[in-house]
């Protein structure tokens, strides 16, 4: 495990496993790099170098009071890529991490990037509006913030149900999935949790997606209860010039962690890495 220090003196924790062409994993909210351990081992076992960092305010990284916006997240990622001198990398991003990936390419280009993977990701924009009627209503975002402020431990336990689709008949979600979600969420700073809701809810990544000039795999479940596929994944796949969309039937928001979908995603990821 390693650590870099950013331009504003924030310590960013990261894991670095294996050797070969780099695969950089960018976690969702309110998680951290631990969410990617199955995929990191999978790519490392198959001849790649898996790297995953804790976003500022999450996990083992520092918890500054501000800086929870996508320009800052993208610049943090750029510093990680630069300080580790990563070249020809594949960026794999989940949920809110998809915004970080998109803004990174929008601000820093693809000089270091070979491919991108957007998994259950928030771009192009989450919030419901006249131009995005499939999006998430504002009162849902307000409810999330209120839940964190009222009793965040119970809020995370409740949120895990829909995150993984544990509230659907015949699901394969384990208690371990839900416990791991709660544990990672409780290591997110409250200030980061609240301000990130506004960041991922209202930021428009459309122009960033138009900057993609690399092959991109978009993976999304059609039963995602957190980031609706019709507002995000399907639209991103249309905006990005060289995108392939894979829809997981009955897939939840937590595809990379739930038994069954996890193994399917790992196979799809490896196939894409080798393409």
**pLDDT given at position 164:** 98
Percentage of the chain exceeding pLDDT 70: 100
Which one, of 240, 254, 195, lies nearest residue 65 by Cα?
Answer: 195
Annotation marks residue 253 as catalytic = yes
Annotation marks residue 54 as catalytic = no
**pLDDT given at position 158:** 97
Annotated active-site residue in 76, 208, 224, 268: 224
What is the total count of domains within the chain?
1
HSE of 120 in the Cβ direction (CA atoms, 13 Å)?
A: 28
Read off the pLDDT of residues 42-75 as tens digits, 9 standing for 90 and up.
Answer: 999 999 999 999 999 999 999 999 999 999 999 9
**pLDDT given at position 183:** 98
Annotated active-site residue in 95, 120, 211, 236: 95
Read off the pLDDT of residues 167-210 as tens digits, 9 standing for 90 and up.
Answer: 999 999 999 999 999 999 999 999 999 999 999 999 999 999 99
pLDDT at 1 over 90: no
Annotation marks residue 88 as catalytic = no
**pLDDT given at position 143:** 97
Residue 186's domain spans which residues? 2-273
State how far the Cα of 174 lies from the Cα of 176, in Å rounded to an integer: 5
Read off the pLDDT of residues 82-114 as tens digits, 9 standing for 90 and up.
Answer: 999 999 999 999 999 999 999 999 999 999 999
**pLDDT given at position 241:** 96
Rounded mean pLDDT of 107-135? 97
* Gap between the terminal Cα atoms of the chain: 29
Read off the pLDDT of residues 231-261 as tens digits, 9 standing for 90 and up.
Answer: 999 999 999 999 999 999 999 999 999 999 9
Q: Supply the pTM of this predicted model.
A: 0.97
**pLDDT given at position 38:** 98
14 and 83 in contact (C-beta within 8 Å)?
A: no
Residue 260 is part of a domain; what is its CATH number? 3.40.50.1820
Q: Spell out the residues 6+ positions from residue 8 whose beta carbon is closer than 8 angstroms to its own.
A: 64, 67
Burial (CB count <10 Å: 0-12, 13-18, 19+), residue 151: exposed
Percentage of the chain exceeding pLDDT 90: 100
Annotated active-site residue in 236, 253, 261, 268: 253
**pLDDT given at position 107:** 98
Q: Spell out the residues 6+ positions from residue 203 whose beta carbon is closer than 8 angstroms to its own.
A: 69, 70, 99, 103, 125
**pLDDT given at position 234:** 98
């Amino acid at each position: 495990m390693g650590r870099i220090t950013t331009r504003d003196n924030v310590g960013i924790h990261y894991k670095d496993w294996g050797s070969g062409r780099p695969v950089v994993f960018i976690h969702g909210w309110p998680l951290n790099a631990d969410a990617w351990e199955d995929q990191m081992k999978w790519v490392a076992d198959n001849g790649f170098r898996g790297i995953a960092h804790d976003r500022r305010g999450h996990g083992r990284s520092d918890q500054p009071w501000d800086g929870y916006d996508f320009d800052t997240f993208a610049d943090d990622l750029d510093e990680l890529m630069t300080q580790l001198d990563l070249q020809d990398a594949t960026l794999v991003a989940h949920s809110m991490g998809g915004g970080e990936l998109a803004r990174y390419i929008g601000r820093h280009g693809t000089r270091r990037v070979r491919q991108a993977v957007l998994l259950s990701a928030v771009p192009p924009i989450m919030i419901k509006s006249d131009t995005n009627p499939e999006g998430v209503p504002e009162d849902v975002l307000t409810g999330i913030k209120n839940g964190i402020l009222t009793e965040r431990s119970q809020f995370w336990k409740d949120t895990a149900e829909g995150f993984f689709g544990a509230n659907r008949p015949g699901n394969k979600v384990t208690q371990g999935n839900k416990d791991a979600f709660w544990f990672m969420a409780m290591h997110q700073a409250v200030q980061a949790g609240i301000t990130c809701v506004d960041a991922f809810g209202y930021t428009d990544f459309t122009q960033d997606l138009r900057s993609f000039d690399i092959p991109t795999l978009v993976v999304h479940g059609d039963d995602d209860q957190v980031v609706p596929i019709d507002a995000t994944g399907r639209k991103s796949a249309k905006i990005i010039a060289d995108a392939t969309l894979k829809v997981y039937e009955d897939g939840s928001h937590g595809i990379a962690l739930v038994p069954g979908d996890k193994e399917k995603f790992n196979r799809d990821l490896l196939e894409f890495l080798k393409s």
